[in-house]
Structure 1
Amino acid sequence: MSGLQRTCTARLTSWLLLLAAFAAIHHADATEPAVVEADLLVVGGTESGCAAAVQAARMGVQKIVLVNDIDWLGGQFSAEGLGAIDENRAHQYNGTVPIPRSGIFREVIDAIETKNAQLYGGIKRPGNTRVITTARPVVSESVFRNLLAPYEQSEQIQRYSRYRVSSAIVDGDNVRGVEFVATDAATKPNKLIVRARMTIDASDWGDVIKASGASWDCGIDAKAEWGEPSAPETNQPTTDLAPITYCMILVEQPQESLFPKPTTYDPRYFTGTWGWIDEEFAYTTRRLVDGKGFTEFDHADVLLINSPQIDYPLDSLPAGVLRELEQSEAGVSKKTLVAMTPAQREIVFEDAKRHTLRYYYHLQTNFPKFRRMALSDEFGTADQLPPKPYVRESLRLVARHIIREQEVDGFGGYPNYATTMFPDAVFSWQFEKDFHPTQRTWVSGDDNTGPWEATFRGNRRFGRGGTGRAVFPLRALVPERIQGLLGAQKNLGYTSIVGSSCRLHDQSIHAGQASGAVAAVSLRNHVAPAAIYLRPDQLAEIWEGLLEPAGGVPLAIWPFSDIDPNDEGFVAIQQLALRRLLGLGPTDTAFQPDQIATVSWTERVTDALIHAGYPVTQLGIDTTTTRRDVAISLWNQLKSHPIPNPIRKNEWDADDDGILDSEDPLPFTQGTVSWQRSPEHDGIPPQLSAYPAKTVAINFSSAAGSVAEPFINDVGGKFSAKAGFGWRKDLSSNTRLRGTDLGPLRDGFVFTRTQDVWECEVDNGKWRAFVCLGDAGHEQSGQHLQIEDIVVAEDVATSLGVFHETMTDVDVTDGRLTLTLGTPAGGGNTTINWLIAVPVQ
């Protein structure tokens, strides 16, 4: 028996045992509902639901009920067929992650890679493809089953399968439990009632949130709603959601295994927008097992097919689907998929399946490699497709805080920390703002009876720049009004744009784990989750539960790039960072634990301690003490010390900044931005009361750059008498716009890699020159600048989004103000953003 067969047999055995136990526990009369009492109810066997249940169990919640609508556990990893595991990524697929894998996600990945090694000759990552880890869905499902097993055996977690939400038990604004109905006639009893002190909605479509009366949203957010820089002007059409996809798992066969031609097949479904996808790309881009790429094992190739051709848009639907929907309920075809009933969604799902199978035939017809690729039978479904579609976007919870694009953008650029680092952080993440095609475009005009393609609407498209290293606030798990309910999976409090970057395998597990920790602390202390963000002691309990789990891997709540959860001092470093005791700046995304603790670094830590209200402690620094040593020692001194309560300046507005606590992303910090740039590094020109006559104000930019009056744009052109300024040689190809939100004076620049000279006609005499060097999108080093005969920048380095400003007085004697950038030898880029030159009276 092969390893995969053993996995399948073990899974089948566990299912049979579960069904036997279920039959023994419950009354034989199927018409009489089973009633269960619980401390915590988790709805949904998704990756998020499993993580929530396990985290709550590890933190001492004794009676946990997990209800799932199917048998399969694991959501995207398994039931949705996403065997190529997508995770935190800064800006490209390069085999690395910006934040080390951590928490229950790390446990799941390690278990998957261990099973892979057993199946594939010691190779943990057999896909040999773009993502880091791949796994057959059946393997991932067994990992989630094993994750729950110890807690099910101890009966701390009770699991019920094949039940979907019927209604919520609501008392006023409090959710007291959920009523379920069986999804098939074979499941007995056919009704299940779970009464619980707290409920977590980790379902695919936010079923409990909808049933509870909690507010929710879905689809496009208009720019006016949240002020997001890249949001469209309107929210039309309201049915525009991220597409669903029925993935395929294909397994190589010894001989051809041809799929019959579907009656609705038309090549025009697949040969337009995405016709560039060739055989090699289709075969390798999401391969799960590269059977010929390793000498350690001999195995059939196994592929995941999850390409744009089978993305199924939801903004409009084919005529046949519309007719069938309208037969079920008049007007339902105008609703979003989220608002439909399960039966109505199944109508849409069936058409999405037909579309995927059309593409299977198309692959075999056009690409010889696919003629031997058969649909895997591991799902046990009649059509051999996964039991669920890949759900990229569910409803969005109207939460105590809605996370917006401008909050998660990197402060000065994507490699930096996010602009707003919430004080009630419960996990960290980073990814691109990434929309799959959400628009259905009919190949024959407006004829919705024929072929169509999945296309992009506006700038809702792949990879539109990454977020910064962001943290997720507890408040985005908590409904605005309803009590006793928390969100998980993709039912979270964020905008559509933010949700496009926070929907991956690891992020969904983290959201569930965080929700489980919040529920545990809420139940333990008899306090509503909505109040915890203003209570440092209870927030600390959540951090402790996530950072020091019983028998699990710590979760990276603060997004350091270079501290692994298994490293010595990880917990201490995380705890100090979360309490803002490390004096971090926006670019300090690496802790550098083995660097010697310098005097300036320890002074920053001491200042942070004093500012936070902690007692000043002895740090014990000598010439060999590392930052890790200091962190461990400091945390050992502080962890038993009560967290100082922040000073509240106003009853409803703690920091008295005019933003009510209920609406303030930073309730104890002025404003909404976590970081401040020093004036000499912020790239903002000095605020002169009024530019005197003859002032020179130049914005160095590209031809596409915006004008910021009273500045005049220089776009690298040669000096001209008409303009009165310019370069000694044409540098128009040496201009850049970074596309940040820093404004035209900081976003663009002209640069030189060697040495170049810029001149401007001015009167002779004394001039005061203000100049800014730097790059909004990259680090730069080795920058040199001379104004007239004075060197004002020598071998200057600037971090991404951090600038070097200088001011000097010079004497002009030849009628031209002269700037010399760079050195003849080169070696680095000198980037100039702007110049202000003022005559000195």
Structure 2
Amino acid sequence: MREDRCDVLVVGGGLGGVAAALAAARRGYGVVLTEATDWIGGQLTTQGVPPDEHPWIEEFGCTRGYRALRDGIRAYYRRNYPLTAAAAADPRFNPGNGRVSRICHEPRVAVAVLEEMLAPYRAARRIRLLTRHEPVAVGRDGDRITSVSLRDAAGEVVEIAAAYTVDATELGDLLELGAVEHVTGAESAAETGEPHALDGEAEPLDQQAVSWCFALEHRPGEEHVIDRPRDYAFWRDHQADFWPGPQLNWAEINPWDLTEHRRALFEDSSGRPDGFGLWDFRRILARANFAESAGLGDVTLVNWAHIDYWLGPVVGVQPEERERHLESARQLSRSFLYWMQTEAPTADGGAGYPGLRLRPDVLGTSDGLAKAPYVRESRRIQAEFTVTENHVGARAREPLVGAEVFADTVGIGSYRIDLHPSTGGKRGPRTFVDIETWPFQIPLGALLPVRVDNLLPAAKNIGTTHLTNGCYRLHPIEWNIGEVAGTLAAHCLDTGLIPRQIRARADRLAEFQRLLAADGVELAWPREVRGLKQYY
């Protein structure tokens, strides 16, 4: 086993991990950034999910670093793609014209831009990037993490010691490996006091569905039907008690009111969708934005509720069970594609779109599915402070207007409490939970484990509940959390303090908040926005 050391070890190369690495390196510290796959970017790239953001993202409501990422993506297209005159002149150019985001784009473009952001620090050896490295063990000495052991693709193990360790893994892996106090699944109302928490006992195995995304283009008149998936018969007939018909179906549930909605793949000839046009919802390349000579066509990213896998959890279970559920999620995605190609009702009364073709190149894989499943929920630290529905939920806070104001704010975010169907634990799968929220702040206390001194979370593993994870899990918020974690690690190395000492004293907290603000971290919403419910 090899040994290595650094000032700050960041395990997990998702958005939070990259932001943490950049923040620590910017302050002069040596960082090792590790990633289990061969791409950095996490939910934006390896999981293939265009950014879910709030309505004000173009003007404010994110850190300077996250805005640099968004600006960099647009600049990449302007430098390298033959845009139409209209697209080139649009300051808010959206490569895919997707409805889910103001900047739907190809995952590999985000990888390229993130690599550009890391480049000067890698050249200076302030950041060393280790891809295809998976954490397998955590060393502890009392209340401190001493090292993390990681196994590479060849099976070799490196043990890396660091003064501070940042857990930016997609499932909060270091919390389990290091026996750091954490929770999984859904809490009970008796525990949290949340109006929408579970009645009765908590359900640690009640976790949001994972989804295995894939990219498609449509080539009418051509035949690109995949082999019939092994589990196709099961998924064609499977129906949850809350789902309108079999899961392989254009119908789905509207999460806002739990009514049935009829969907369609494409808009009809009048340009109006039949219920809802899925194709352009997460479209990541729109042919209309590019010169005809380029030969670029539409590419859409399939991350629709039809591929949500809710038949079992992926944390808190044995590795064999986790792998079984992940393989079943892959089978569901392939089965939905096969159904669309062969049996799906079409607008002209026919069946199937055989011209739907997987685009494995878009996701950097051989089979056309994303490198990793889209994970909506992970292990969460037991934190000095836990954000609940009562801090951010619009109905839960009536008659008050606005989310809780946190004295220890280290950033802001805004999204509805948006829970996809969940595994349900002993109770069995249950449907969407969707709750209005106020634009909210990120409290420093939610980033501090109750006991361990030098481990910081930088993804979906902060001190939220099952419910509030649903509004703190989005792209710009994860970046903000990671940027704070990296800055906090560096500030602690500068001062000799530990994170909880910074939060405990008003003068130290104010100094840290000034550092964040100087780096472009917004700490509060403008007054005119703070009292607006998040409908988007």
TM more than 0.5: yes
The equivalent of 1:782 in structure 2 is none
CA displacement, residues 412-433 of structure 1 (integer Å, 9 cap, x when unaligned): 6799531x21111111011101
Shift of 1:40: 0.7
CA displacement, residues 239-272 of structure 1 (integer Å, 9 cap, x when unaligned): 2101100001113447332222224223333138
DSSP 3-state at the match of 2:419: coil
Is 1:373 the counterpart of 2:369 in the alignment? no
Choose 267-276 or 511-520, whichever is displaced more. Answer: 267-276
- Residues 347 and 263 (structure 1), Cα distance of their counterparts in 2 relative to 1, 3 Å cut: closer
Give the distance between the partners of 1:59 and 1:272, measured in 2 at CA.
Answer: 51
Give the distance between the partners of 1:542 and 1:146, measured in 2 at CA.
Answer: 28
Is 1:121 the counterpart of 2:83 in the alignment? yes
DSSP 3-state at the match of 1:54: helix
Give the distance between the partners of 1:540 and 1:777, measured in 2 at CA.
Answer: 27
Q: Is the 8 A contact 2:183 2:204 kept in 1?
A: no
Shift of 1:370: 4.3
DSSP 3-state at the match of 2:170: coil
Aligned length: 484
Larger RCO: 1 or 2 (CA < 8 Å, sep 6+) = 2
Shift of 1:285: 1.5
* Counterpart AA for 2:127: I
The equivalent of 1:402 in structure 2 is 386
Pick the aligned partner of 2:421 from 423, 427, 437. 437
Give the distance between the partners of 1:415 and 1:382, measured in 2 at CA.
Answer: 52
* Counterpart AA for 2:496: H
Give the distance between the partners of 1:159 and 1:396, measured in 2 at CA.
Answer: 25
The equivalent of 1:289 in structure 2 is 285
The equivalent of 2:39 in structure 1 is 72
- Residues 545 and 346 (structure 1), Cα distance of their counterparts in 2 relative to 1, 3 Å cut: farther
* Counterpart AA for 1:374: R
Give the distance between the partners of 1:272 and 1:119, measured in 2 at CA.
Answer: 34
Is 1:477 the counterpart of 2:447 in the alignment? yes
* Counterpart AA for 1:524: D
The equivalent of 1:509 in structure 2 is 479
Pick the aligned partner of 2:6 from 33, 38, 41. 38
Shift of 1:218: 1.1
- Residues 353 and 168 (structure 1), Cα distance of their counterparts in 2 relative to 1, 3 Å cut: same
Pick the aligned partner of 2:180 from 193, 206, 214. 214
* Counterpart AA for 2:378: S
Give the distance between the partners of 2:478 and 2:400, measured in 1 at CA.
Answer: 22
Give the distance between the partners of 1:414 and 1:380, measured in 2 at CA.
Answer: 50
CA displacement, residues 596-649 of structure 1 (integer Å, 9 cap, x when unaligned): xxxxxxxxxxxxxxxxxxxxxxxxxxxxxxxxxxxxxxxxxxxxxxxxxxxxxx
CA displacement, residues 157-201 of structure 1 (integer Å, 9 cap, x when unaligned): 11112121121110012111211222x32x6xx011111111010
- Residues 408 and 464 (structure 1), Cα distance of their counterparts in 2 relative to 1, 3 Å cut: closer
Give the distance between the partners of 1:259 and 1:98, measured in 2 at CA.
Answer: 43
CA displacement, residues 77-116 of structure 1 (integer Å, 9 cap, x when unaligned): 100011x211135xxxxx8678444322111111111123
Shift of 1:136: 0.7
Aligned pairs for 1:164-203 (under 5 A) are 164-182=134-152, 184-185=153-154, 190-203=156-169
Give the distance between the partners of 1:414 and 1:526, measured in 2 at CA.
Answer: 44
Q: Is the 8 A contact 1:279 1:369 kept in 2?
A: no
* Counterpart AA for 1:49: G
* Counterpart AA for 1:528: I
Shift of 1:302: 0.4
* Counterpart AA for 2:518: E
DSSP 3-state at the match of 1:279: coil
- Residues 208 and 127 (structure 1), Cα distance of their counterparts in 2 relative to 1, 3 Å cut: same
The equivalent of 2:528 in structure 1 is 589
DSSP 3-state at the match of 2:33: strand
Aligned pairs for 1:14-53 (under 5 A) are 33-53=1-21
Give the distance between the partners of 1:299 and 1:234, measured in 2 at CA.
Answer: 54
Give the distance between the partners of 2:108 and 2:319, measured in 1 at CA.
Answer: 25
Give the distance between the partners of 2:494 and 2:318, measured in 1 at CA.
Answer: 36
Pick the aligned partner of 2:103 from 130, 133, 142. 133
- The percent of aligned pairs where both chains have the same amino acid is 28
The equivalent of 2:211 in structure 1 is 245
Pick the aligned partner of 2:198 from 232, 235, 243. 232
The equivalent of 2:228 in structure 1 is 261
Is 1:305 the counterpart of 2:289 in the alignment? no
Give the distance between the partners of 1:777 and 1:203, measured in 2 at CA.
Answer: 32
- Residues 258 and 273 (structure 1), Cα distance of their counterparts in 2 relative to 1, 3 Å cut: closer
- Residues 133 and 777 (structure 1), Cα distance of their counterparts in 2 relative to 1, 3 Å cut: closer
Aligned pairs for 1:279-678 (under 5 A) are 279-280=265-266, 281-292=277-288, 299-313=296-310, 316-317=311-312, 336-340=313-317, 344-365=321-342, 366=344, 367=346, 370-378=353-361, 379-410=363-394, 416-418=401-403, 420-439=404-423, 456-457=430-431, 460-461=432-433, 463-465=434-436, 467-549=437-519, 554-560=520-526, 588-589=527-528
The equivalent of 2:240 in structure 1 is none
- Residues 113 and 293 (structure 1), Cα distance of their counterparts in 2 relative to 1, 3 Å cut: closer
DSSP 3-state at the match of 1:112: helix
CA displacement, residues 744-791 of structure 1 (integer Å, 9 cap, x when unaligned): xxxxxxxxxxxxxxxxxxxxxxxxxxxxxxxx999xxxxxxxxxxxxx
Q: Is the 8 A contact 1:222 1:231 kept in 2?
A: yes
The TM-score, its normalising length taken from structure 2, stands at: 0.84
* Counterpart AA for 1:245: S
Give the distance between the partners of 2:109 and 2:204, measured in 1 at CA.
Answer: 38
DSSP 3-state at the match of 2:360: coil
DSSP 3-state at the match of 1:164: strand
Q: Is the 8 A contact 2:232 2:331 kept in 1?
A: no
* Counterpart AA for 2:491: V
* Counterpart AA for 1:51: A
- Residues 415 and 129 (structure 1), Cα distance of their counterparts in 2 relative to 1, 3 Å cut: farther
The equivalent of 1:822 in structure 2 is none
Shift of 1:206: 1.0
DSSP 3-state at the match of 1:501: helix
Q: Is the 8 A contact 2:205 2:423 kept in 1?
A: no
| Structure with max Cα Rg | 1
The equivalent of 2:271 in structure 1 is none
The equivalent of 2:241 in structure 1 is none
Aligned pairs for 1:684-723 (under 5 A) are none
Q: Is the 8 A contact 2:184 2:379 kept in 1?
A: yes
CA displacement, residues 787-836 of structure 1 (integer Å, 9 cap, x when unaligned): xxxxxxxxxxxxxxxxxxxxxxxxxxxxxxxxxxxxxxxxxxxxxxxxxx
* Counterpart AA for 1:54: L
DSSP 3-state at the match of 1:500: helix
CA displacement, residues 313-353 of structure 1 (integer Å, 9 cap, x when unaligned): 1xx44xxxxxxxxxxxxxxxxxx521245565333212211
Shift of 1:528: 1.1
Q: Is the 8 A contact 1:48 1:513 kept in 2?
A: yes
CA displacement, residues 38-79 of structure 1 (integer Å, 9 cap, x when unaligned): 11111001111000000111123x211112111110001100
Shift of 1:539: 2.4
Shift of 1:389: 0.4
Q: Is the 8 A contact 2:62 2:477 kept in 1?
A: no
Is 1:278 the counterpart of 2:264 in the alignment? yes
Choose 358-367 or 71-80, whichever is displaced more. Answer: 358-367
Give the distance between the partners of 2:429 and 2:317, measured in 1 at CA.
Answer: 24
